Amino acid sequence: MNQSFSPVALYAWQISALALLLSSGQKVVMSKPFRPRRSVLYVPASNPKALAKVASLNADAIIFDLEDAVAPEAKEDAREALRAYFAANPAGKAERIIRINHLTSEWGGEDLLAARACKPNAILLPKVENLQDVTGVAEVLEETDASENVRLWAMIETARGIINADEIAELGLRSTSRLDCFVVGTNDIAKETGTVLEKGRHFFTPWLMQILLCAKAGHLDIIDGVYNDFNDMSGFESECGESFKMGFDGKSLIHPSQIEPANKAFTPVSEAVTDARSIVQAFDLAENAGKGAISLNGRMVERMHLETAQKLLARIETINHSN
């Protein structure tokens, strides 16, 4: 006998099922709204001119850097400059992330306190190598009543970090971890492993794909490493195109001139958008209602292609709105 449920009854059943899953200790995958992260620019917190230009930039995200871009003798001044900047600019059009020094360093603790006080969108943790590198910071934020809107990003930039990327990425399935994104640190990987980082990144591709697969399994965004020669725009655009095809969500940048090429490279082309719309429209037709697969322009299209098309169109809408 067929039995139908009212929307209210169905919602109640879903809530009960969720509560049962939580009580059983199983992972619950929380859906996260899409946010464009095509262009992610590093800005040294010790550079007043760079900080002053942030508001005029069209980057999707800004990483205010207290780590590699700041000399040891300038760390304290950079931290105070960042406090002053966020006090004067409590909001911005770009997503705002603060990269702190590792907590085992002499600057890490003060950096974390300053970053928490600034209330950025996220705090970027360097050289993450295990679960505790993330959960420890999440616990500090929880204990100090930091808003849940302050998220965590993790840099995967060491051999150990790559090896443990899977278990680290699993934190993305736990809402309490705050983890939203991986950032690949290709320069540090090259330094630690001795692997040559050359055009095409042939030696790096297996590692990049390993980190990417782990991120996707954990429902995390993943940002590709920097391209060091900001005068070589042709090489940069080529690497962005390869990165997009690999599945990265964006590129970390070291110069404002790289912003627009990155935005273009990580925005689906018009042909892909048109194709996505045709797939959605085809499945909306009455004669295709309930079908798992249909024929469209001489090819078979399945429901999984419909889901991909819907996601692409949602992304384009969000990107257009942000612009």
What pLDDT is stored for residue 9 in this prediction? Answer: 46
pLDDT digits (tens, 9 = 90+) for 24-70: 444 445 567 789 999 999 999 999 999 999 999 999 999 999 999 99
Question: Are the C-beta atoms of residues 123 and 98 closer than 8 Å to each other?
Answer: yes
Is 80 part of a structural domain of the chain?
Answer: yes
Q: Looking at the structure, tell me whether residues 114 and 221 fall in a common domain.
A: yes
Q: Are residues 260 and 287 in the same domain?
A: no
Q: E-assigned strands of the chain?
A: 39-44, 61-65, 95-99, 122-125, 151-156, 179-184, 221-224, 250-253, 293-296, 299-302
**CATH label of the domain that carries residue 115:** 3.20.20.60
294 and 259 share a domain?
no
pLDDT at residue 165 in the model: 98
User: Does 55 share its domain with 150?
Assistant: yes
Instruction: Indicate if 68 and 147 belong to the same structural domain.
Output: yes
Q: Could you read off the pLDDT of 245-292 as tens digits, one per residue?
A: 999 999 999 999 999 999 999 998 889 899 899 899 999 999 988 889
Neighbours of 85 (CB within 10 A): 19
Residue 8 lies in a domain: no
Domain extent for 123: 39-265
pLDDT at 31: 60
- Measured from the Cβ of residue 86, the count of other Cβ atoms closer than 10 Å reads 20
pLDDT-derived band at 12 (thresholds 50, 70, 90) equals very low
Ramachandran angles phi, psi of 152, nearest 5°: -125, 140
For the entire predicted model, the pTM comes to 0.85
Same domain, 254 and 217: yes
Residue 29 belongs to some domain of the structure:
no
Does one domain contain both 301 and 246? no
Say how many Å lie between the first and final Cα of the chain, rounded.
52
Q: What is the per-residue pLDDT across 72-95, written as a single tens digit (0 to 9) for each?
A: 999 999 999 999 999 999 988 999
Is the domain of 216 the same as that of 296? no
User: Residue 255 burial by CB count (10 A; 0-12/13-18/19+): exposed, middle or buried?
Assistant: middle
The pLDDT mean for the chain works out to 90
Residues 165 and 312 in one domain: no
Q: How many domains would you assign to the chain?
A: 2
- Does one domain contain both 146 and 201? yes
| Beta bridge mates, 252 | 40
